[in-house]
Structures are given as C-alpha cells and as structure tokens.
Structure 1
Amino acid sequence: MTTGSPHPAPGGAPDAAPGGAAGGDEVDLIVAAWRREAPQLDVEPLEVLSRVARLARHLDRLRRDAFAAHELETWEFDVLAALRRAGSPHELSPGQLLVETLVASGTMTNRVDRLAGRGLVERRPDPADRRSVRVRLTAAGSAVVDAALADLVEAEHRMLDVLGREERRALATLLRRVSAPFER
C-alpha cells in the first residue's frame, strides 16, 4: 500500500514510481514501510523532508555536472558567484566571503589562493585599510562564473518543468517558511 497522490500525470496516465508504486514514488514506499513496521510513530515529516533530501542529492549532481563543464568545483563556483553578485567592482573582503560561503577562515584562504593561481580572482589592497585585502573577480573569473550560471539555471529550469509557474512560486514560499529559522 502506498500513500501517493491519486492525481494522474499529464496525459491522464498515473505516475509510476521507480519502485513500481502506481501514483507514488520511492518515498511513498519508505513511508508505507515505516507505517507498517512502526505504527506508533507519526512519520509524516518523512513525506516532505525525505523528498527534500533526495531532491538535494539530485540537485548536487546537477550542479556538479553544470560546473564541471566549465572546469569548476562547486566551492569554486560558490566563491566566484559571491564576488559576481557583489556588484561592481565585484570584490569582497575575505571576511565577507566567509559569510557568503559559510566556510572557516583557513579554508577561505586556501580557496582564494587556488582561485588566484588559476587567474580567476586577485587580491588587492583594501583602500580603507592597507593592512587588509580585498578579493576581486578577474575578467576570466567573471566569464567562467557567468557561463556556469547560465548552464546551471537552464538545468534547474528543466528540473522544475514538472511544475507550473504558480506551483513553483507556492513551493518557494513554503520552503522559505521552513528554512527561514535556520538562516543567518
């Protein structure tokens, strides 16, 4: 027994899960098994959060593939994207990069070193404090992050094509409400 949606897929055919559950997916099979094996537990959160976790794994793979096509690792894209989003002159302090990418100070120093070695960023003296530096996106860094972002957005659009515009907006609103307490 599954707990999947009775709604048919576009075209009138019922959805089929990889595990063979008509009208459901793998999570429906997992939830049904837990309800059978541990009926004393309310496993309803699994119906949402197991899907979020599975989608996160698919999204990680999709992103790695999009970035690999531009010879970038995910962490490299994260740093370059933070600089690109900063607006002209596309530079941030190492401390600002820490906040933007959620990594430790030693990790960021290593990442900036590696990106500078590839010519994607450069360190510049901070005009407000000569003892400090700013990390600036180079023209090469800007070109590669822009191209990787274009490919990523295209792939993410394909991933969400199963939803209409209003469904995507509603999902974004719901996910924002769930994730807001964990944000900085």
Structure 2
Amino acid sequence: MPTGWAETESLLALREMIAVSERINRVVARRAQLGESELVTLSHLSREQIGPAEVARRLDVSTAAATGIVDRLVARGHVERRPHAGDRRRTELVITESGRGEVVAHLLPMFVALDRLDRSFSPEEREVVARYLRGVTGAYQAVLAEGSERPTV
C-alpha cells in the first residue's frame, strides 16, 4: 500500500466493491453475447440519449471505433439512429426496448438487491453513504481529468 493509505474497513470494502464491479461488465456482456463496449454503450443510452461522438468520448475510443460499436448495436436491434432534434446535422442514439431489456434482464436482480439494501438504512445513514460515494466519484473524476495533479500521500 502507498504511504498514507489507511486500510480502514470502509476503504477495504470500497476496494472490494471496485474489484467486483470491474468484473460485472465482462460477465454481463458475455451472458448477453455483447462486447463490453456494447454493454457500456447500452448502459449510457439507458440513462440518456447521446450521439456517436459522445459514445467515443465516454468509452475513450476513436470515433471510428464508436461507429463500429453503434453499427453492431443497430444491427442487433438494440439501438436506433435518429436525427438530432435541435441540429439535423447530428445523429442521436436511442436505446430500443430490446436494448433496454438486454441491460435490465441481466442487472435487475442486482438493482433489486441494492434497492432493498438502500431501504434498510435510515435517511441519515443514506445521507452519509451518499456523501461518501460522491466523494469517491470526485476522486475518480480527478484521475480522469486532463492534466490533473498527482496528489501527495
């Protein structure tokens, strides 16, 4: 462990959760007979409509690679390309019921278990958990930020 990294129960649990979550995409993609990038794209599209360029940015791949991912999802009937409502030069990607079903079918048991767990906490406990997870998200985003400084430990 790096100097300054305390092995608290919460940090050990977080590391464990990260390790398991890294496997989720691989396992679910294999079960759904999708590539990991295709599954991640469906996951993004299940939350919001984005275009192919945004898919490339979020997956950290070239626009050509993103086009290939989208082409495969369109061919399987999981995604549709539509003209952007505000700018007809742009394309918007929309997840279909088939695509949404593919994501939900494999992840619903996990979502149900997480909902049950969340409801087992008091509002005050949920606020502490939310604050911690937002901090974790901020730490992740700092790593992803271009030109970010390395923290000293």
Deviations 1:84-106 (A, max 9, x none): 222xxxx422233345x342333
Distance (Å, rounded) in 2 between the aligned partners of 1:75 and 1:155? 25
Distance (Å, rounded) in 2 between the aligned partners of 1:76 and 1:155? 25
| Residue in 2 that maps onto 1:56 | 18
Q: 1:170 aligns with which of 117, 128, 136?
A: 128
| Structure 2: 5+ residue stretches without partners | 146-153
Higher relative contact order (CA 8 A, sep 6+): 2
1:120–1:138 contact (8 Å) kept in structure 2: yes
Question: 1:128/1:69 Cα in 2 relative to 1: closer, same or farther (>3 Å)?
Answer: same
| Residue in 1 that maps onto 2:76 | 118
**Structure 1 stretches (4+) deviating beyond 6 angstroms?**
none
Q: Please tell me the root mean square deviation across aligned C-alpha atoms, in Å.
A: 3.5
| Residue in 2 that maps onto 1:152 | 110
TM-score, length basis structure 2 = 0.63
Cα deviation for residue 77 of structure 1 reads 2.7
Alignment of 1:130-141 (within 5 A): 130-141=88-99
Deviations 1:141-177 (A, max 9, x none): 122223233133135468x58x941445423311312
Identity %: 29
Residues matched between the structures, number: 138
Alignment of 1:1-184 (within 5 A): 41-44=3-6, 46-47=7-8, 49-62=11-24, 64-86=26-48, 91-99=49-57, 101-104=58-61, 105-126=63-84, 128-154=86-112, 156=114, 164-166=120-122, 167=125, 169-183=127-141
Distance (Å, rounded) in 2 between the aligned partners of 1:127 and 1:51? 44
Cα deviation for residue 64 of structure 1 reads 4.0
More helix by share: 2
Distance (Å, rounded) in 2 between the aligned partners of 1:59 and 1:155? 15
| Structure 1: 5+ residue stretches without partners | 1-30, 35-40
1:62–1:155 contact (8 Å) kept in structure 2: no
2:77–2:99 contact (8 Å) kept in structure 1: yes
Deviations 1:11-53 (A, max 9, x none): xxxxxxxxxxxxxxxxxxxx7xx9xxxxxx5442x43545423
